[in-house]
Amino acid sequence: MEINEKNMVTIQELLAIDPLINGKILGGWSGRTNKIEKIVDLNIESCPKYNNHFLYFLKITPANLEHITFILEKKVAGLILTGNSEPNLSLKVLNEAHRKRIPIIYFPLDFSLANIEFTCSLIKNLKKHDTFQLFARNSIYKKITKIDQFELLGYCEKLLKAPLLLVNKAFQLIDCSCHTKFKNKADLNIIKQIGQQEKNNWYRLKNRKPNCYSKSIVLKDGTNIEYILVPLIEQNYLYGFLISLENDIFTNIDKLLIEETGQVILQQLVHRKNLEEIEKKYKIDFIHDLLFNNFESKEQLIERAELWGFNLKVPQHLILIEPDIVNVSINYSEILEKIQLIIMQSITFSQQPLISEFNGQIVVIIPFTDNKDNKLNKKNILQLAHKLLKKLEITFPKLKLSMGVGRFYNSATDLCRSYQEAKNALALGKFIHEENHITHFEDLGIMRLLANLNYEQLEDFHQEYLGEIIEYDQKNETNMLSTLYMYFKQNGDINRTAEKLFIHPNSLRYRLKKIEELSEKNLQNYEDNLNLFIACKIARIRSQGSN
Amino acid sequence: MANQLGFLINLQKCIGCHGCEFACKNENKLGEFKYRRIIKLRQQENVFAFLSMACNHCSSPQCIKVCPHKCYKKNRKGIVVHDPTHCDGCQSCIGSCPFRVPKINPLTDKVNKCNFCINRINKGLQPACVSACIPEALQVINLSQPLPSHFMETLPYFPYLQLTEPSVRFILPRLTKCFWRNIEEE
């Protein structure tokens, strides 16, 4: 009689359904696709017939252990052992089972043949109604949720006979099922190349379900690698990927196992992220209290800082960093995270600095224990700020970054002052320097005073000194105001100003004379010079403010 | 981002009744001294409005920076609180505040200022001035949440560079209308 193989149940399918999913695979799992036509009870039949579609059921006793070797010599679909305790099979037996692709599975004594036969017929019925996959998925999920999170990848590797890798969304290895492989550079290079291939699909993957995607890649050395990729997505947020490099052709049950493992890992990642978010919230609360003087005593502050691993017993320096992002398509929080990482890698101090995002800016608090000379401290912190800016400019060439530095105080309780000073330096620095500026609070000069005056006072002053010049510029389409501004910027040097403006020095002299006429001020008079200079500063504030 | 409470001042609704001023005085037992004051705005023609001003509970309060005795602190709701225990009335905070909000209390010779009725806030109540405002021109808003675009950040009366980032928003006044004659026709 011809056997209809399509309707037959494989050993893997049999072990994918509850309660048989709890059976322990002792060896020969490479034969998991062997199909079962009949289950033969070797405990009853004295002269059984051996067939490659028959699954054999045997109660283990010390006497019949040798019988296993005999069965393995025949061509059979698989062997189920049952008994009080798990049999200790020799390596020779296990190797033989692997070579002949005969799975050996152990069940505790309470599993009867009737159980297995019932499951077999159940699977057949489920397959007829196309509901087997759903049933198997539930059973697999139930099983793997009971496994310890640190052993989950290892458990899956045993069933799949292929390594499983957990990577983050930047394809950096987080965890691996095999501890020896994927530690060296060559193996990590495979992940890197997969990452480069998948990079472009990243946004497309975001809107997909966390299913298995079978893919292949031709590596730079010409080898072709098949792999399975499961994007770990929850509420449109991509946490990472689960990758399995195929050793053999994966069955549907294998893919189900990878998908469900991905689901369990995803839950763990979501949980971890939530914890990180809570931790971040507490950290931001601490930084708020530190920077806004919201604490009872210095001792309490130091104690709280110790919980976060910071030593506030020593004096600290504070730098505030703000990226000027015009392009709204850039993910601002991601940029801030990257900047923090680069700063963390760049600062090498004996004591840990405090680096955190706070109100859309990055606060860097660095312990300074070396010296107590304020001038030297200022020089050191500015040197460090320039070093950081240089590194950040290399990483983000298109990004404009500004830094504000507060004054140095000996006590951590004064960090609230240093923070406000750094904020002022950051905000006012743009009126003094060009792009990517580093401004120390002590270098703000007259801007500190101008910043506190109200609109009308500044307008009046500006109009009084520069009103005529602006009017003249508008009427005659000249640029007297920018000439005056450049003259002050070049410290009154006629030749350099003319060079910067691409005009002859005599033309510049004519313009300056005209400015003197219009404003009725003498540029050689120190006081007039100062007033015009301040009016030019106000003009800059006005123009920046309107932008 | 931490919470940042602030005031929304609707200049279209404020009728200058001084109700907020009296409620503040009553709540804080201030006598002649006051934290909140009403300013008449007549900056431009056709503009007639009242502005009710107290501490703006700035995001970057300069008073915290300058106080030598660290009497100022900003809590996690964004309220700038002054603790007069160590205050010696040096007035450095008055000079640093662009709105000149802190005032010397003549009875104690110490500085005092609006504390957003922090005790009422902790009990889940509105500040006294907001509760007392009958035309609902004063409201409490949370600036850490997105706000409508017609909530303006500044007024001509305010300093040009708002380094302190005051936690106050305005709904600007409408131009005054002459109801008994049509100006355009004239």
pLDDT tens for each residue of A171-230: 878 888 775 555 666 677 788 888 888 766 665 555 566 677 777 888 878 888 888 888
Residue A497: its pLDDT value, please? 93
Of A293, A295, A427, the CB nearest to B163: A427
Residue A328 confidence (pLDDT) above 50? no
Q: Does A332 touch chain B (CB under 8 A)?
A: no
Neighbours of B145 (CB within 10 A): 9
End-to-end distance of chain B based on CA atoms, in angstroms?
A: 54
Please list, residue by residue across B99-108, b when 16 or more beta carbons sit within 10 angstroms of its beta carbon and e when fewer do: bebbbebeee
In the predicted model, what is the mean pLDDT of residues B176-180? 71
Which DSSP string corresponds to chain B?
A: ----EEEEEETTT-----HHHHHHHHHHT-TT--S-EEEEE-SSTT--EEEEE-----SS-HHHHH-TT--EEE-TTS-EEE-GGG-----HHHHH-TT---EEETTTTEEE---TTHHHHHTTPPPHHHHH-TT--EEEEETTS---TTSBS--TTSBSS-TT--SEEEEPPPPP--SSS-TTT-
Q: Which two tokens stand for residue B80?
A: 């700038």
* Structure-model confidence comparison of residues B42 and B117, the more confident one: B117
List helix spans (H) across A292-442: 298-307, 332-346, 374-395, 415-429
Mean pLDDT across the stretch A443-463? 85
pLDDT of residue A219: 80
Question: Which 3 state secondary structure label does DSSP give A230?
Answer: strand
User: Which is it for strands A104-108 and A78-83: parallel, antiparallel or unpaired?
Assistant: parallel
Cβ atoms within 10 A of the Cβ of B37, count?
Answer: 15
Burial class for B175, CB neighbours closer than 10 Å (0-12, 13-18, 19+): exposed
CA nearest to A230, candidates A214, A207, A216, A249: A214
Mean pLDDT of A321-331: 68
Dihedral angle sign, alpha carbons of residues B36, B37, B42, B43: negative
pLDDT confidence bin for A547, thresholds 50/70/90: very low
A43 closest CA partner among A75, A15, A67: A67
To test the contact with chain B by mutation, choose from A431, A454, A459, A462 the residue with the greatest count of B C-beta atoms within 10 A, namely A454
CB contact under 8 A, B64 and A417: yes
Q: Residue A484 CB: number of other CB atoms within 10 A?
A: 23
Residues with Cβ within 8 Å of residue A90, at least 6 apart in sequence:
none
Q: Which of A264-273, A415-424, A455-464 has the lowest mean pLDDT?
A: A455-464
Amino acid at A371: N
Q: Is residue A310 a contact partner of residue A289, using CB atoms and an 8 Å limit?
A: no
Chain B residues with beta carbon closer than 8 angstroms to that of A444: none
The tokens 């087997």 sit on which residue?
A132
Kindly determine whether residue A294 and residue B76, on different chains, have CB atoms separated by under 8 Å. yes
Q: What is the pLDDT of residues A491-523, one digit of tens each?
A: 889 999 999 999 999 999 999 999 999 989 898
Does residue A372 or residue A279 have the better pLDDT? A279
pLDDT at site A509 = 94
Structure-block tokens of residue A279? 């931790």
Predicted confidence at residue A183, as pLDDT, reads 60
Residue given tokens 């907020």 in the structure block: B20
Q: Do B73 and A292 touch (CB under 8 A)?
A: yes
DSSP character for A33? T
**Closest Cα to residue B17, out of B136, B178, B139, B172?**
B136
Cis status of the peptide bond prior to A62, with omega within 30 of 0: no
pLDDT at A5: 61
**Average pLDDT in the A295-319 region?**
89
Question: Cα–Cα–Cα angle for A424, A427, A433, nearest 5°?
Answer: 115
Which of B70, B160, B165, B167 would best serve as a mutation to test chain A binding (most A beta carbons within 10 A)? B160
Please state, in angstroms and as integers, the Cα–Cα distance from residue A102 to each residue in A8, A13, A457, following that order: 17, 15, 93
**pLDDT in the model for residue A270:** 92
Backbone angles phi, psi at A61, to 5 degrees: -135, 160
Q: Considering only CA atoms, which of B155, B119, B124, B159 is closest in space to residue B9?
A: B155
- Give the Cα separation of A471 and A469 in Å (integer): 5
Q: Say yes or no: ipTM exceeds 0.85.
A: yes
> Between chain A and chain B, how many beta carbons pairs sit less than 8 Å apart?
72
Q: List chain A residues with CB under 8 Å of B75.
A: 292, 294
Strand, coil or helix: what is A320?
Answer: strand
Mean pLDDT for all residues in chain A = 84
A455 interfacial to chain B (CB closer than 8 Å): yes
pLDDT of residue A319: 94
CA atoms within 13 A on the CB side of A249: 3
Angle between helices A455-476 and A480-489 (to 10 degrees): 120
- Amino acid B157: pLDDT: 66
Asked if the model's pLDDT at residue B126 lies above 90, the reply is: yes
